[in-house]
Amino acid sequence: MRALAIAAVGAQAGIAVTGSVVRVTGSGLGCPDWPACFPGSLTPSPRYSVPLLHQWVEFGNRLLVGVVSVVALTCLLAALATRPRQRRVTILAAAMPLGVLAQAVIGGMTVLLGLAWWTVSVHFLVSMLLVWLAVLLVRASGEVTAPPGPVLPRPLRTLVTLCTVVLAALLTAGMMVTAAGPHAGDLATPRLGIAMPTLVQLHANLLIVYLGLLSGLGFGLHAVHAPRSVLGRFRVLVVAVLAQGALGATQYALGVPASLVSLHVLGACVVTIAAAALWASVIERPGQPTNPRARPQNGQPIIGRANTASTAMTRNSPHR
């Protein structure tokens, strides 16, 4: 189950990256019909005026949807076959094929509406949501069935939630920059009617806010001596965000070259994966202790207290 969940993360992120390749190569309408490539033709054909390369780039991305669908369905079947069945794992696994189905509908609408910028944006944001849920599935598939319990104080958990909200806004602003940028997927596609520098400034401001929140979270995690698993995921997230920010600045300074667009989408996927892993790590299961030095409120280790109680019961037994 865990291996399939990891495959789902890779598949959901991969289809987002290949979708960006379709866009930057101008192949968004390489297959202008849906679900067939052309009316009366399921596959690319040299009979039509669309360049054959654009046809195959778009059609190839559609074929990859089949791979993602197989992975998603296999996740669900594995979750249903797991004994004892875990409700949370089953729900997250069911979200994979349902998400792929939703993406197929959104993708069809995107093609039929001529790559309208808002449909492309929704297409990407749903992909990021599915990547997030796939990471949670990886986490859930490795848990025991006992009820969850928090490993961080409530203020820090609230701060993690706030970071997640700002990240969602940051990704949305990034898609608005893309909607106003030069890579529409087709030369005839209308763009978002907002000046690109304005949207880039909004995107950069949200990045600064996000980094500020991460800085505060980092101080808080070290102040409460957070588990190593949480600190490790936090550091990976910070490195990913800094690298993505540097890549975005370079991309804008060079005039948004096509070669860096797909790399930036890949970076967005990595940041989303790292943020989801951090989110998941603030919940631990009993039986998976993250801090072996942790003690109950009376300061006595749980094992030691249990042994003391057992000894007392033995001494007071009438059979002794």
94 located within any domain: yes
Do the domain assignments include residue 305?
no
Tell me which residue has tokens 């797909």.
Answer: 262
**37 touches 31 (CB < 8 A):** yes
Number of domains in the chain: 1
Would you say residue 182 has pLDDT above 60?
yes
Question: Within a domain: residue 49?
Answer: yes
pLDDT in tens, 236-275: 999 999 999 999 999 988 988 888 888 999 999 999 999 9
234 in any annotated domain: yes
* 173-187, 195-209, 253-267: segment of lowest average pLDDT: 173-187
Range with lowest mean pLDDT among 96-100, 140-144, 206-210, 281-285:
281-285
Residue 310 domain-assigned (yes or no)? no
pLDDT at 300: 37
Separation of CA 72 from chain center: 15
pLDDT value at 119 more than 70: yes
Among 89-98, 211-220, 286-295, the minimum mean pLDDT is found in 286-295
149: pLDDT confidence band, cut at 50, 70 and 90?
Answer: low
What is the per-residue pLDDT for 315?
A: 46
Contact criterion met (CB below 8 Å) for 131 and 273: yes
Inside any domain, residue 298: no
Within a domain: 276:
yes
pLDDT in tens, 29-70: 888 888 888 888 888 988 888 888 888 998 988 889 889 999
At residue 148, does pLDDT exceed 80?
A: no
Range of the domain at 152: 2-289
Could you tell me what percentage of the chain is helix, strand and coil, using 3-state DSSP and rounding each to the nearest 5?
Answer: 70, 0, 30
109: left (phi over 0), alpha (psi -120 to 50) or beta: alpha
User: Is residue 83 in some structural domain?
Assistant: yes
DSSP state of 196: H
Q: What is the mean pLDDT of the chain?
A: 84
